[in-house]
Amino acid sequence: MVYRGIAKGKIVELEGDASLPEGTQVEVSIKQEPVGETAPGKSTKGSPHALLVALEVAPRCTLDDVEALIQSMQQGKQPVRFEGVFE
């Protein structure tokens, strides 16, 4: 029997109502899709769906990356003007 699903980290979510008993041994083979084609339910690079999928995974950054970002934000700060433009 063949079950289809999508990997999310170390977990594979099976399509439909497929359910396996706890402890079932499985063998997973990776399906390579041709470049330039989009399977049903998949999104193209840069699409809103692709962005939402990317946001489900935590970014892989180091403390040095975070420090560099904070430093860049500090350097790019602009002074705040509290008076109106038309006064």
Among 1, 6, 2, 3, residue whose Cα is nearest residue 40? 6
Q: Are 53 and 42 in contact (CB under 8 A)?
A: no
The per-residue pLDDT for 73 is: 94
Q: Are 74 and 66 in contact (CB under 8 A)?
A: no
Domain ranges of the chain: 43-76
CA 39 to chain CA centroid, nearest Å: 18
> What residue has token string 């699409």?
47
The per-residue pLDDT for 67 is: 94
What residues of the chain score a pLDDT lower than 50? 35-37
CA 10 to chain CA centroid, nearest Å: 14
Q: For 62-77, how does the pLDDT look when each residue is reduced to its tens digit (9 = 90+)? A: 999 999 999 999 999 9
Amino acid 75 reads Q
Distance (Å, whole) CA 5 – CA 3: 7
The per-residue pLDDT for 32 is: 67
